[in-house]
Each structure stands twice: as structure tokens, then as C-alpha cells.
Amino acid sequence: MKRLALLILLCPFTALNAAGDGVKVTAETVFSIGQFPVTNSMVTSWIVSLLLVFSIKLLVGRPQLIPGKGQLILESLIGGIRGIIEPIVGKKVFFPSFWLLSGLFFFILIQNWSGLLPGVGTIGYGTYSDDHFSIGKPLIRPGNADLNMTLALALVANIFWLYFIVKYAGIKAIAKDWFGNKADKSEVSATIFGFLGIIFLAVGFIEVVSILFRPVSLTFRLFGNVFGGESLLHSMFYLVPQLKWILPVPFYFMEVLIGLVQALVFMLLISVYIGLICNHDEGEKH
């Protein structure tokens, strides 16, 4: 007999002992809006997004010329991110791209950490067996542990990457960067220059293929790390039943660090992709 369980416990590992059969790869459909299925990962991402918006609004309130404590904290975070990405993307593209890069960082970071919160994975439908309630269909699941979420993030990031390089570098600069002959014509003979031109043209096509695979690599890198972390914590919880409240502790804090690193890596990769073309001229001036 299936029952709805609301198991919001104080232990941060409650999301791991929801079921003994491990973390499922696919997200569960919670309800549907017409023909549109709403999964538990989507529910979590919506809740996290709303909490993020309201938290920032509550923290800052009405922006002041002389910042309060909340505004000062947020401005310090933004200033730190600016110091990281501005030298990468260049001053020309920094302000237009900052909303995207900072948004990706904070959204992915909070989504990564959401899977470590009490209640995630332990609120849902399940059954009693051997005096233990096992969650079979959780209503809340980490957003980035769903391949659809990481794919959507990668596609959005790459679409805006294309927009930025076309608008701020131009088609001519893009073609020159990908297919242009990088050799100095004054330093080599015409024959060698022509031969190198063919090589750089071939390298350009290889570059285009690698660019087409960027969304795939971004998708599976983020998904693999988040889902792998969830599975690792779950395994540590059941590996030694006598130590189930102690053994996962170091891995829990490791996942906190990995969640931060993966958000930073995702943001930096998109920044590098933009800067490789849009920051090319600025780099040559220096």
C-alpha cells in the first residue's frame, strides 16, 4: 500500500536513506499541466529559484547609495565574480554577459547544494517494508541530478555565447579566428604560407566540431558530478550500517566543495568560450 511520507528530519543525510535501491537516473513525474509533465527535479528548481529571488530581495531591499549589510554582502560577491570573469571575457563584453555568467553561477551553485538539504528525497510516496518506510517516488529531487536540467543550462549558455560573439566580434572576426591563417606572411615563403593556410582551414573545421560538442560536454560534466555525488553519499550511508550516521560526513562536506567548484567551472568555461573570440583584440593590445 502506497502512502505519502513527509520525512523532513534534522539530519542532512535524510535525502540519502529514502530508499535502499540507490538514486534513480531519471526524474519522476509529480503531476501534469495538460500534456506537460512536471517532474520532481522541476519542482525543486522552481522552489530554489523562488527562494533565491526572495532571499536577494530580502537581503538587499531597496538599493542604497550607502549600502546596508545585506547589500554590502551581495556587492562583495558580485565584485568577486567580476574580478574573475572580466579579465577573461574582456571589458567590451563584460557588462552585457555578466547577467548570464553570474546567473549561471548562483543558480547552479544553489541547485547543487539543494540536494544536500534535509527533506530532499525524503518527501514522497513509498511503502512500508520490514518496519522501514522506503520512498519510491520522491516529490523533491536535486535539479542538477536531472539530465534535462543540465542540458537546458548548456543549451541556454551556448545560445547566448553565439549571440555575444556575433554581436561583439562579428562574423568576419569569427571566421578569421576559426579558419584564418595564423602565420606571418612576411616571415615565410608563399608556398609555406599556402600550405599552412590549408592546415589552419582543416583545424578550423575540427574547431567547429569541438564547438558543436560543447553542450554535450557541459551537460554530462555537471550531471555526472552531481548525480555521482548523490550516489556516493547514498552508498556511504548503506556501506556500513553501524556507521551510517558518521561515515557519510566527510563525503557530505566534500560535496559542498564540489558543488561550488562545478558552478565555478561551468561559469568559467562559458567565460573562456566568449573571451577566446571577443577578448582576442584586447589581448593583442597588451
To which residue does cell 542532512 refer?
Answer: 12
Question: ∠ at Cα 195 (191, 197), nearest 5°?
Answer: 115
List alpha helices for the chain, DSSP H: 40-60, 69-89, 91-114, 147-168, 171-179, 190-212, 214-239, 249-278, 280-285
The stretch 133-152 carries a mean pLDDT of 79
Tell me, what's the pLDDT at 122? 64
Tell me, what's the pLDDT at 236? 76
Q: Is residue 55 over pLDDT 70?
A: yes
- How many other β-carbons are positioned within 10 Å of the β-carbon of residue 42? 19
Residue 62 phi, psi (nearest 5): -85, 120
Contacts of 70 (CB under 8 A, 6+ apart): 58, 59, 60, 61
Tell me, what's the pLDDT at 89? 92
The stretch 154-183 carries a mean pLDDT of 89
Q: How far apart are CA 222 and CA 207, in angstroms?
A: 22
Q: Determine contact, residues 8/118, Cβ cutoff 8 Å.
A: yes
The stretch 102-127 carries a mean pLDDT of 79
